[in-house]
Amino acid sequence: EADIYQTPRYLVIGTGKKITLECSQTMGHDKMYWYQQDPGMELHLIHYSYGVNSTEKGDLSSESTVSRIRTEHFPLTLESARPSHTSQYLCASSMPPWAGGADTQYFGPGTRLTVL
């Protein structure tokens, strides 16, 4: 059982608001990820991090930003939310092989964001 948490689970906000989606894990995993999942089910990697002070862009261009100041925390921020940002956002973490892990990703419960 993975210990990875996301808050809020559901968020409905108006256009132009700044929002931060929280993700925390208690497994000491080095690597963390953010995925965006559209209603058609497909998962898109938007950000990942190898560890503290590391952030990388994923395969899908995103207007969001991330930070990694602590190992366990990987928040995602949208400076000005738009309806096109409406989606489910999933956070994951893994212990990469160079750190002695199998690199299996464990996912949080997700945040379902609706921008009006």
Partner 1 sequence: AQKVTQAQTEISVVEKEDVTLDCVYETRDTTYYLFWYKQPPSGELVFLIRRNSFDEQNEISGRYSWNFQKSTSSFNFTITASQVVDSAVYFCALSESTGANNLFFGTGTRLTVIP
Size of the site for partner 1 (CB under 8 A): 26
The closest alpha carbon to 19, from 101, 79, 104, belongs to 79
Cβ atoms 33, 92 nearer than 8 A: yes
Span from 12-20, 67-75, 77-85, 108-116 in contact with partner 1 (CB under 8 A): 108-116
Select from 13-21, 61-69, 72-80, 101-109 the region that touches partner 1 (CB under 8 A): 101-109
Length of the chain: 116
Q: How far is residue 111 CA from its own chain's centroid?
A: 9
Q: Binding pattern to partner 1, positions 7-36, x when CB under 8 A? A: --------------------------x---
Tally helices (H) and strands (E) across the chain.
Answer: 0, 11
Query: Which parts of this chain interact with partner 1 (CB under 8 A)?
Result: 2, 33, 40-43, 45, 48, 56, 58-59, 88, 90, 92, 96-97, 102-110, 112
